[in-house]
C-alpha cells in the first residue's frame, strides 16, 4: 500500500489546509484545455480533500466524482454535498478507482505526488484505463526537483521521493519530486498537450527560497 494514513490524521486534527476556494491553476487549466462549457462533462478528482474544487465543477454543471484516502474528509463532504454522496468515496487511488463509468476529465492537485514512483505509475495506469478516448488528465502542482524541498529531504530507496522530520513538508507523508525526463517517462502512455514548470523565488521574508512545481495536461488517444 502506498497511501499514507497520515492524511486522515491531518484532517481530523485540522493541521492541513482546509481551503474552501478552488485552486486558481486548476481552474485556469480546466477552462483552457477542457472547454467544459460546450457540453456536460464527467469529472473525477483524485485526492479531493476538503472539497475546495467541488463548487467550481458544480458551477460548470459537471457530473462530479471524487476519491480520497481520508475517511474523515469524505464523511464531511457527504454531509456538505448530499447530492454527491454516491459519487465520492474513500479509497487508495494507487490501487483502485472504484467507479463503473469512464471520465472526460480526471484531475489531481498535488495529491498523487505524495506517493513513491511505483505508486504513481500504478495510479496513472488506472487513470488511463478510466479516461474515455480523447479524455484528459490535468495534474496541478506536481513537485519539481528544483524545489528547495528536494535537497532538504531525507533520501529513500526511490531517488525522486523524500521524507521529512520537520519544515514545510513535515507531517504530510513522503513527497515525490519530478524532473522533465522523469515526468515524460511516467506519462509515456499519454499524449502530452502541455507541460509547464513554474518556479517561484522568494525575496522577502526568506531570500532565495525556491518553490517549483509542474502543471500537466495529458490526453488518452
Digit-coded pLDDT (tens) for 87-132: 999 999 999 999 999 999 999 999 999 999 999 999 999 999 999 9
140-185 residue pLDDT tens: 999 999 999 999 889 998 999 999 866 666 666 789 999 999 999 9
Please give the mean pLDDT across all residues of the chain: 91
- Hey, is 191 helix, strand or coil? strand
The single residue listed with the C-alpha cell 519530478 is: 178
CATH level 3 topology of 6-219:
Rossmann fold (3.40.50)
Q: What is the pLDDT of residues 25-73, one digit of tens each?
A: 999 999 999 987 778 999 999 999 999 999 999 999 999 999 999 999 9
This prediction has a pTM of 0.91
pLDDT score, position 1: 43
Q: How far is CA 83 from CA 61, 72, 87, in A?
A: 13, 18, 8
Q: Where are the domains of the chain?
A: 6-219
Residues 13-27 pLDDT 10s: 555 556 778 999 999
Amino acid at each position: 500500500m502506498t497511501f499514507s494514513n497520515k492524511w486522515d490524521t491531518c484532517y481530523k486534527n485540522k493541521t492541513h489546509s482546509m481551503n474552501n476556494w478552488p485552486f486558481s491553476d486548476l481552474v485556469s487549466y480546466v477552462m483552457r484545455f477542457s472547454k467544459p462549457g460546450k457540453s456536460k462533462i464527467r469529472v473525477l478528482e483524485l485526492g479531493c480533500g476538503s472539497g475546495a474544487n467541488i463548487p467550481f465543477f458544480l458551477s460548470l454543471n459537471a457530473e462530479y466524482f471524487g476519491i480520497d484516502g481520508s475517511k474523515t474528509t469524505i464523511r464531511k463532504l457527504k454531509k456538505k454535498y448530499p447530492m454527491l454522496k454516491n459519487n465520492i468515496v474513500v479509497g487508495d487511488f494507487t490501487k483502485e478507482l472504484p467507479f463503473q463509468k469512464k471520465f472526460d476529465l480526471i484531475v489531481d492537485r498535488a495529491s498523487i505526488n505524495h506517493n513513491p514512483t511505483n505508486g504513481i505509475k500504478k495510479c496513472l495506469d488506472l487513470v488511463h484505463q478510466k479516461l474515455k478516448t480523447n479524455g484528459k488528465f490535468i495534474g496541478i502542482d506536481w513537485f519539481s526537483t528544483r524545489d528547495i524541498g528536494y535537497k532538504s529531504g531525507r533520501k529513500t530507496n526511490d531517488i525522486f521521493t523524500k521524507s521529512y522530520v520537520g519544515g514545510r513538508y513535515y507531517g504530510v507523508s513522503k513527497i515525490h519530486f519530478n524532473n522533465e525526463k522523469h515526468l515524460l517517462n511516467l506519462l509515456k502512455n499519454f499524449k502530452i498537450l502541455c507541460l509547464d514548470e513554474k518556479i517561484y523565488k522568494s525575496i522577502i521574508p526568506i531570500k532565495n527560497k525556491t518553490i517549483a512545481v509542474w502543471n500537466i495536461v495529458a490526453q488518452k488517444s
